[in-house]
Amino acid sequence: MPTLRETILAALHARLSALPATVLRGEVLPERVPAGGLVILRDGEPGEPEVTLSPLTYHYQHRAEIEAVVQGADRDAAFDALCASIGAALAADRTLGGLCNWVEADAPRPVDLPVEGGQALKAAVVPVVLHYSTADPLA
């Protein structure tokens, strides 16, 4: 039986999979970026939880990361559209079907990456904070 953390990350991956880009989880950046863009979900860090007693509950602000990558002649507009679609996907269900208390993304910091012999990439890491509570940090 998967842990709550894994269930939440799988639900986030499923939500992102509806995007018009190729969506991967925990994979290395492939040699070619698909025409619709590429999104890679990284599991990130759960961080130190706040703990309440009676009943014992661990409250996490888990920081996952979404890598957004586009390539092509009009990469600025494609990157903007990809980030907007990520934001819309998260805003459509801020609790991931009731698994989280709240899901929020931070603004991306885009960079242009040159590619030898090819078109440059535009990429950014979009931090996503998953707020959730559990009775056991290992369950």
* pLDDT tens digits for range 25-66: 999 988 889 999 999 999 999 999 999 998 999 999 999 999
Where in the sequence is the domain holding 76, given as residue range(s)?
A: 4-134
pLDDT at residue 129, rounded to an integer: 98
Number of domains in the chain: 1
Nearest to 37 by CA among 81, 1, 5: 81
The domain that holds 124 is classified in CATH as: 3.30.2000.10
- Report yes or no on 116 lying in a domain: yes
- Report yes or no on 26 lying in a domain: yes
Contact at 8 Å (CB) between 44 and 60? Answer: no
Mean pLDDT of all residues in 99-117: 92
- Report yes or no on 139 lying in a domain: no
- Report yes or no on 102 lying in a domain: yes
How many of the other CB atoms lie within 10 Å of CB of 51? 10
Nearest to 38 by CA among 47, 48, 28: 28
CA distance 71 to 112: 10
- The pLDDT-based confidence of 1 (bands split at 50, 70, 90) is confident
Contact at 8 Å (CB) between 60 and 73? Answer: no
- Report yes or no on 115 lying in a domain: yes
Q: What percent of the chain has pLDDT over 70?
A: 100
